[in-house]
Structure 1
Amino acid sequence: MLGIGLFFVGITLIINGWGSLLNIDHRSLALINLFTGSLSFIINVLYTIQGSYYEAGTGFLFAFTYLLVGIIYLFDLDMRIYGIYALFVAINTLPFAWISWQIEGDPIFALIWLIWGVLWFCGFLDAVIKVRFGKSIHYFAIACGIFTTWIPGIMMLTGIS
């Protein structure tokens, strides 16, 4: 199930990045965020039912990210609430990276957690602290979408990894 979630998170990051670069109305971008957030929510409810609480807990971070962004975009709400949430998630990526590396023995996924943490932290800096990254943050979101979620998602779906 993780592969499915990562696959759609990837395309959502790519769409959000390109959408911002192309100045697409956020209400239009809300749809993919709501679809991906809902899909991720359902996947993580299934993980919870199966008793896979670590997978569910970490996965709900993604579900709520995209549901929150989708609702903020749809209703033109204050983005600072996302920024505060993104800081919470960014902080949590540190122990998850450590768990991936030291407990699960997966240094690649540990690195991916850290990259996601940087992206979420940039969301905090942008929305709350008002650091202006210019277009670079959108290119970073696209790169994260391609290399940390979409490609790993495809690899998981096809059984390559």
Structure 2
Amino acid sequence: MAYVGLLYVGAVLFLNGVMLLGKADPKAIGVFNLFVGALQVITPTILIAVNPADPVTVLSASGIYLFGFTYLYVGIGLLGDFDTSGVGWFSLFVAIMALGYSFANFRLLGDSPFGVIWLYWSFLWLLFFLLLGLKMERLTRYTGWVAAIEGWVTAAIPSFLIMTGYWRNPNAIATALVVFGVVVFVALWLFTTGVWSVRGFRALSAPHRPAHQ
């Protein structure tokens, strides 16, 4: 059941990324945030109610609430046109807790791919904090791309592979996720900040002219 919810987390992250890139109306995306937020609150509640004495189930399900509350908060904020600082500071809490869940997946659950995926989520929610909480609007485009990509890489694709039985070779998957994340997000930063843009290449390749000329 948790992996069904994860599939739609992929959808909402992708849509939120598209919104940040200016390609979709915020209120329209806000409605979908409410759908997924409600799903991500109902799902862990059922999982814990069915297996209250299983510490692994409780641990795994407890992390889902972090995202359910985020999407509900975002959806309500977008529809009500509220200030984003509350979501931003809550995102800092999520970013810090995600490090703990990453550790738990590596050391307690023996799930290295999701140990890496939680690091992805920690990074993304840190960006949400910087963008929404500290109002660092220059990060809007970069955060949009990261959110859209993570929607597929950390949620939609893993969920589908798990549900179809093709989620195999966890060490190889974890390594691939690390390499992909470092390469893609560094490259994105260079592109979105203009270092690798056409203008940036022209500036770097332009011959140096003495000041007196």
**When the two structures are superposed, what TM-score results if normalisation uses the length of structure 1?**
0.94
| Alpha-carbon displacement from aligned partner over 1:78-102 (angstroms, at most 9, x marks no partner) | 1100011100010001111111011
| Residue equivalent to 2:5 | 5
Q: Which has the higher relative contact order, 1 or 2, with Cα contacts under 8 A spaced 6 or more apart?
A: 1
Distance 1:39 1:25 in 2: 22
Distance 1:89 1:12 in 2: 17
Q: Residue 9 of structure 1 contacts residue 149 of structure 1 at CA under 8 Å; is this kept in 2?
A: yes
Q: Residue 97 of structure 1 contacts residue 113 of structure 1 at CA under 8 Å; is this kept in 2?
A: yes
| Residue equivalent to 1:117 | 122
| Residue equivalent to 2:153 | 147
Q: Percent identity at matched positions?
A: 35
Letter in 1 for 2:91: A
Number of residues of Structure 1 aligned to a counterpart in Structure 2:
161
Distance 2:9 2:46 in 1: 18
**Are 1:40 and 2:40 counterparts?**
yes
SS in 2 for 1:54: helix
Letter in 2 for 1:149: A
Distance 2:135 2:80 in 1: 21
**Are 1:104 and 2:84 counterparts?**
no
Q: Residue 44 of structure 2 contacts residue 64 of structure 2 at CA under 8 Å; is this kept in 1?
A: yes
Per-residue deviation at 1:23? 4.3
| Alpha-carbon displacement from aligned partner over 1:93-134 (angstroms, at most 9, x marks no partner) | 111111101111122111100110000011111112222214
Off by >4 Å, runs of 4+ in structure 1: none
Q: Residue 47 of structure 1 contacts residue 55 of structure 1 at CA under 8 Å; is this kept in 2?
A: no
Per-residue deviation at 1:39? 1.0
What is the RMSD computed on CA atoms of the aligned residues? 1.2
**1:41-60 pair list within 5 angstroms:** 41-50=41-50, 51=52, 52-60=57-65
Rg larger in structure: 2
Distance 2:116 2:61 in 1: 20
Bigger Cα displacement from structure 2, 72-81 vs 134-143: 134-143
Per-residue deviation at 1:32? 0.8
**When the two structures are superposed, what TM-score results if normalisation uses the length of structure 2?**
0.72
SS in 2 for 1:101: helix
| Residue equivalent to 1:61 | 66
| Residue equivalent to 1:135 | 141
Q: Residue 2 of structure 2 contacts residue 44 of structure 2 at CA under 8 Å; is this kept in 1?
A: no
SS in 1 for 2:24: coil
Per-residue deviation at 1:22? 3.2
Letter in 2 for 1:152: P
